[in-house]
Amino acid sequence: MKELPYKILIVDDDPTVVESLEACFDGELSAAGSIKEAREKLKKNRPDLVILDRRLPDGDGLELCVEIRKDPQYCSLPVLMLTAKTELCDKVLGFKLGADDYLIKPFALDELKARVEALLKRCVPEDP
């Protein structure tokens, strides 16, 4: 398993959520408040995991999730949807479009951390 710290990209336009996540994780974190900014950060510094909101100022985070899954460079990148969209149909759509996990806001930081750790263990290759 790759040693901590991990690189996590948080895509959320709510500063309170971003601050909570920054306090929760020890790894290298970067934040993007829009899909456009997230695309730029993905290209600049490939993260080990993306925490992605659905409601963003320039569209639905699922658009970015679909782009990630279609791009050979990023298709195996773990994506955790972290959103206030609570309906079962929203969750199912998230999984169908490529999310690895789906957590509803408000959330418990301990649960989020456990889900992130599980995704990283499963998805991030070991260093040689």
Percentage above 90 pLDDT, the chain: 79
Tell me if 128 is assigned to some domain.
no
List, for residues 4-47, the tens digit of each pLDDT value. Answer: 578 999 999 999 999 999 888 877 889 999 999 999 999 999 99
Tell me if 35 is assigned to some domain.
yes
Residues 7 and 50: their CA atoms lie apart, in Å, by 9
Instruction: Over range 39-62, report the average pLDDT.
Output: 95
Tell me if 81 is assigned to some domain.
yes
In degrees, rounded to 5, the angle at the alpha carbon of residue 77 between the alpha carbons of residues 66 and 33 is 65
Assign residue 75 the CATH number of its domain.
3.40.50.2300
Give the Cβ contact number of residue 3 at 10 Å.
Answer: 7
Tell me if 2 is assigned to some domain.
no
Model pTM? 0.91
Residues 50 and 61: their CA atoms lie apart, in Å, by 11
List, for residues 95-113, the tens digit of each pLDDT value. Answer: 999 999 999 999 999 999 9
Residue by residue, what is the 3-state secondary structure of 8-26?
A: EEEECCCHHHHHHHHHHCC
Q: Residue 99: which domain range?
A: 7-123
Q: Nearest-CA neighbor of 61 among 26, 8, 97?
A: 97
The tally of domains found in the chain comes to 1
Percentage above 70 pLDDT, the chain: 92
